[in-house]
Each structure stands twice: as structure tokens, then as C-alpha cells.
Amino acid sequence: AKSAGGFRNVLASDKNRLLADSTIEWFSHLQNNLGYDLKFSKIGYLWLLSEDEHVKLKDPLNKMLSMGVELRFLEKEELRLVIPDLITDQSDEEGELMGLKSIDVGIFGARCGTVNTDALVRSYESEFLKLGGEARYNTTATRLSLNPKKKLGIPGEPLVCQDVTLTGAKTD
């Protein structure tokens, strides 16, 4: 898979956060209960903000906190202790030319991290094969076969309004 494999749950939308949280739990289950070595690691994610940016994000951040998102706020002094080489003052000529703002606040998302996407795909394939699926490589699917979940007996099914299930594929 061609992905960096980063994940986060620092999201203000209920649906997106629930999807992210359930995905993080699934990764944990695959590694800790089913034994797949996904290199799943909750290393966190750190956003560095100016005071103006932090003020603009107060409402969404408070909403996330009320929804149980694990956030930790770090003031400039604490950031300097954690990351000694971090340059927080961007008021010099270079910073101004690049349009950088000085860093005043750090926001650390604790349930963010990484997963090895190749290992994740291999785990999905393994679980699919256990269910009786078949994996074919270097094969082009030229047509998918869809059937309605509940047949109505009408010609041309499945219709746009019907729930469908994938029942097969025509290959080259």
C-alpha cells in the first residue's frame, strides 16, 4: 500500500471521530488480539500554533474535549523543555519572508499514531481468506456481479433503490 499509515482522532465532527476511534480500536484488535504485527503505535501528533490560531480553534477544541478526545495543551515554555531545538520565535527576517507565525501553543493528540499499511493490507487479506474468499493478483475485474439483497422479481434488478450485495466478478 502506498500510504504513510498515519491515523488520528482529533476531529470535531462526531461521525468522523467515531469512525476514527473505531478504526483505531480495530487496528489495536488486529495486533493485540489476532496477533498481526501491524507496527501499530500510538505515538501521538503535535500541532504547533500561534496564539491567534489557538484562539480561532477554541470552540472546535472545546467540542473535541467534551466528546472525550484526548488532547494535551503545552505552553511555549513546556514546548521548549520537550523539544529543546524548537525555534518558537519566528519574528526574524526569514520567518517574516516565509509568513511564519511564532509558536505559542502545542496541542498534542494522544490517540494519534502510525500503522504499517502493507502489514494492514496483509492482515485484511488473511482474514478474507479465512472467510473463504479468494485473492487473485495481476487480474483485471472487467465486470462486477451485483444482486439485490431482497429480490422484488422486477426485470433489470438490482434497481437503483435496492440494497445490493457483491456476488462475483468477471475477470480477464
Say what the pLDDT of residue 106 is. 97
Buried b (16+ CB within 10 A) or exposed e, 141-164: eeeeeeebeeeeeeeeebeeeeee
Under 8 Å between Cβ of 45 and 106: no
pTM above 0.95, yes or no: no
Phi–psi pair at 49, nearest 5 degrees: -130, 150
β partners of residue 6 = 114
- Which residues, in sequence order, are CB contacts of 129 under 8 Å at separation 6+? 135
pLDDT tens for the chain, 172 residues long, are 578 899 999 998 999 999 999 999 999 999 999 999 999 999 999 999 999 999 999 999 999 999 999 999 999 999 999 999 999 998 888 888 998 999 999 999 999 999 999 999 999 999 999 999 989 899 999 999 999 999 999 999 999 999 999 998 898 8
- Alpha helix (H) ranges present in the chain? 14-32, 51-56, 58-66, 76-82, 93-98, 117-130
Say what the pLDDT of residue 65 is. 95
Say what the pLDDT of residue 1 is. 57
